[in-house]
Amino acid sequence: MSSRAQVLRRAAAGTLAAAAVATTAGFAAAAPANAATPPNLRVTGVVFCDKTNFIPTLVRQMTVTNTSDTFTMRNVTLQEIQGQKRFASSLGPGKTLQIRTTQPGCFPSSISGYAISDNREDLLDNYGYYFTLDRL
């Protein structure tokens, strides 16, 4: 067999191998991405006047939610500034921790606080300040 035939045969084999690798990579790349959401705590709150009872009531509420799909947050603390504190040793995906206070009467008020945990996460949504200007 001539050297020219060997070169052509090796080139054809290399081209077929490259095509096979490219085809398999194409199939692997076409699979849907199933990335889990990163660990994250989100603080939300509300202050409002509940006028459904005979005596109107001021409601102040702050909630922290684990917004991750799969990650359980450890040692979560929800702290109201100059107020109550709630602690959970673990907070599963979608679970919440809440501070809620009620007082008779309606007057301008606010609630502010933050949430922390042992896990590394985005801190931009871990604090909040919520208020109302409702009066009786």
C-alpha to C-alpha distance for 88 and 78, rounded to whole angstroms: 9
pLDDT tens per residue, range 54-94? 999 999 999 999 999 899 999 999 999 999 999 999 999 99
pLDDT tens per residue, range 112-133? 999 999 998 888 899 999 999 8
* pLDDT classification of 13: cutoffs 50, 70, 90: low
Residue 12 has a pLDDT of 59
Domain boundaries, the chain: 1-31, 41-132
pLDDT tens per residue, range 21-38? 555 555 555 555 566 778
In CATH terms, the superfamily for domain 41-132 is Immunoglobulins (2.60.40.10)
Question: Tokens standing for 74?
Answer: 């450890």
Could you tell me which residues are beta bridge partners of residue 105?
57
Taking a C-beta distance cutoff of 8 angstroms, is the pair 80, 112 a contact?
Answer: yes
* pLDDT classification of 110: cutoffs 50, 70, 90: very high
